[in-house]
Structures are given as structure tokens and as C-alpha cells.
Amino acid sequence: MEVRLICEGGVLKMRNLKQPKPAIEPSTGIGLQNISDRYRFLNFEIKVIDQNEFFQVELPLIDEQKITFGRG
């Protein structure tokens, strides 16, 4: 498996090519949901791109001085 990490424009992009493999149990996506929930708590959104040939997650880099907690 090859994973690419790119940092540009204040965003960390992680991409891997999809490789067909037999899955005993399908992924629950709980790890991705956990990250999304944590970013949302800090008033940020992540971006998930799920294409036929690759899967990519984009995480905004967070400046600690600009964090506002919760929704408000």
C-alpha cells in the first residue's frame, strides 16, 4: 500500500490508491467519524474524497490561537 501525504494551503492531504482485497468484515468508518467529530467540535470540517481509484482525506491545519470550541 502506498500512502501520499501532501501539505499545501494550510491543509494536510492523505491519499491512498484503492487495492481490491478480500474483506472479512467491512470497515465501520468509526475512525474517520471520530476525526470528523473532533474537527467539528473545534468548528472545522474535514473533506473526504472517495473515488473509484483512490481515497483521500483532507484535514485543515489548526492554529491553536484561532480555536473556538463548540458551536457558537
| pLDDT tens readout for residues 38-47 | 999 988 999 9
Instruction: Find the domain containing 3 and state its range.
Output: 1-20+28-52
Q: How far is CA 21 from CA 24, 30, 51, in A?
A: 10, 20, 16
Q: Examine residue 6 and state whether it is found in any structural domain, yes or no.
A: yes
Q: Examine residue 63 and state whether it is found in any structural domain, yes or no.
A: no
Helical H segments across 1-72, by residue range: 30-41
Judge contact between 55 and 20, C-beta under 8 A: no
Task: With 0.75 as the threshold, say if the pTM is over it.
Answer: yes
- Region of poorest pLDDT, from 10-24, 32-46, 48-62: 10-24
What are 25-41's pLDDT values in tens digits? Answer: 777 778 999 999 999 99
Q: Examine residue 61 and state whether it is found in any structural domain, yes or no.
A: no
Q: Examine residue 16 and state whether it is found in any structural domain, yes or no.
A: yes
Q: Examine residue 13 and state whether it is found in any structural domain, yes or no.
A: yes
Number of domains into which the chain is organized? 1
Helix, strand, or coil (residue 4): strand
